[in-house]
Structure 1
Amino acid sequence: MISFQPTVDLLSSAEVTFDNMRSYYEHYAVDWELPNIHVQISGLENWDILYKGLVIGAFRLSFDSEDCYLRDFQVSAQYQNKGIGAVTLAQIERIANEECCKQLRLRVFKISPAHSLYKRSGFVVDKEEERFYYMSRSLT
């Protein structure tokens, strides 16, 4: 039921991020518009999350010589809390392992409920700032 593919429509994918993140941007008074997101994600490895063939989210990765960075992870609101996040994190781990990465790293807003998913999935908080948790998990 859940599958993944390299992103087909980058602008539509950016819209999913914009829609999901709008409340966080408003909460923190961040002036971040759709064109900014589109430019930001264009340099990343972008993947669509599909449920029964319908694009319902996206994740974006970048890599350095040792680590994989989860730069963005979005699931449309009506599909959240259905186990899709955990399945997607397993896929992200597979990709990171294929790239021989040692760790998976991410940054998440402190007010985001996603940090609970990351904790359940074995991520630990390495550092925190006013707005963010920086989290990581060792890969096998």
Structure 2
Amino acid sequence: MISFQLTADLEASAKLTFENMAPYYAHYGVDWECSKIHEQIVSLENWDVLYNGEVVGAIRLAYDGDDCWLRDLQVSGEYQNKGIGAAALSEVERLAHNKGSRRMWLRVFKISPARNLYLRSGFVMDREEERFHYMCKEL
């Protein structure tokens, strides 16, 4: 069963993100540390993604007027391709709608397979940079 709860342990959540993102940091030559992730997520709305009661992922949101920014959606590698990411994205949409957001935005590495999940979920390409696609979805 997939469920969600507000994050109580930001350090563990930052570590999950650091480990999940390590291949992307290595690919792009980004020098990143777990402590930097922790610093950045403190000001966000943080949610744990649970599978059968175990934390297997993270959702991080920021709100700006009518917009909700999906700053992070992580699912641990061994739990990917089980529908957890799609369920988490549906939860993000519900949370954004409840806050009165009219649009959802995100940034995803071009090499990330998560891009396909976002396209299937109704996100459209807004613009791109060297490493990233920026995507939007009207709610």
TM-score (norm 1): 0.98
Alignment correspondent of 1:103: 103
- The aligned length equals 139
| Partner SS for 2:74 | strand
2-structure distance, mates of 1:86, 1:40: 24
Deviation at 1:8, TM superposition (A): 1.2
* CA RMSD of superposed structures (Å): 0.5
Letter in 2 for 1:128: E
**1:13 alignment partner in structure 2:** 13
Aligned to 2:3: 3
Q: Secondary structure at the match of 1:101?
A: coil
Q: Give 1:66 deviation, angstroms.
A: 0.7
- Pair 1:129 & 2:129 matched: yes
Spell out the pairing of 1:34-73 with structure 2 (5 A cutoff).
Answer: 34-73=34-73
Secondary structure at the residue paired with 1:100?
coil
TM-score after normalising by structure 2 = 0.99
What CA distance in whole angstroms lies between the structure 1 residues aligned with 2:15 and 2:125? 28
Residue segments in structure 2 that go unaligned for 5+ positions in a row: none
User: What SS does the aligned partner of 1:72 have?
Assistant: strand
Q: Which contiguous aligned blocks of 4+ residues in structure 1 show a shift greater than 3 angstroms? A: none
After TM superposition, give the deviation of residue 34 of structure 1 in Å.
0.4
Following the alignment from structure 2 to structure 1, what is the Cα–Cα distance between the partners of residues 32 and 89? 26
1:66 and 1:94 map into 2 onto residues whose CA distance is: 14
CA distances 1:16-48 after superposition (whole Å, capped 9, x unpaired): 100010011111111110000000111100000
Q: Does 1:33 align with 2:33?
A: yes
